[in-house]
Amino acid sequence: MTSCWKRVDDRLIRRGILILDLKFVRSYADELRDMNDGRRGRPYRITNSFIIFLAVFRYVFSVRFRQLEGFTIALRKMFPILPSIDYSWIRGRIMRLGIDLSPLGSNGVWRACSRSPGLYWC
């Protein structure tokens, strides 16, 4: 009987797990180098994929920009390669990238698309 409850507990726990796709962290340095390759002026410190990740996180969880700043501080503690970002800078980059967060359909799947030059991610 306990094994049956163990399976039920495991299923409920798995349902509650929040899955964040942090693949962009692995390629952060490479993407940053590509973004700055041939760039004149001040180099980028923040990749487009990080901004897209933050935009999706903000939209899905209804997080305010100031809370996103705190989230980037927490992420930096876990992943020192990631910069902490001021909330106004996050907002500006999201607006400049033209990120469109709209449902794909009635199945509840969401997409994030950016019309940034050289990047189209959905």
Residue-wise pLDDT tens for the chain (122 aa)? 556 888 877 777 766 665 677 888 999 999 999 999 999 999 999 999 999 899 988 887 888 999 999 999 999 999 999 999 999 999 999 999 988 776 554 455 555 554 444 444 44
**Spans of all domains in the chain:** 21-29+44-122
Q: How many CA atoms lie within 13 A of 62 on its CB side?
A: 0
Distance of CA 111 to the CA centre of its chain: 12
* Residue 103 amino acid letter: P
Spell out the long-range contacts of 98-103 with Cβ–Cβ below 8 A and sequence spacing 24 or more: 99/51, 99/52, 99/55, 101/55, 101/56, 101/59
* CA gap 29, 111 in Å, rounded: 25
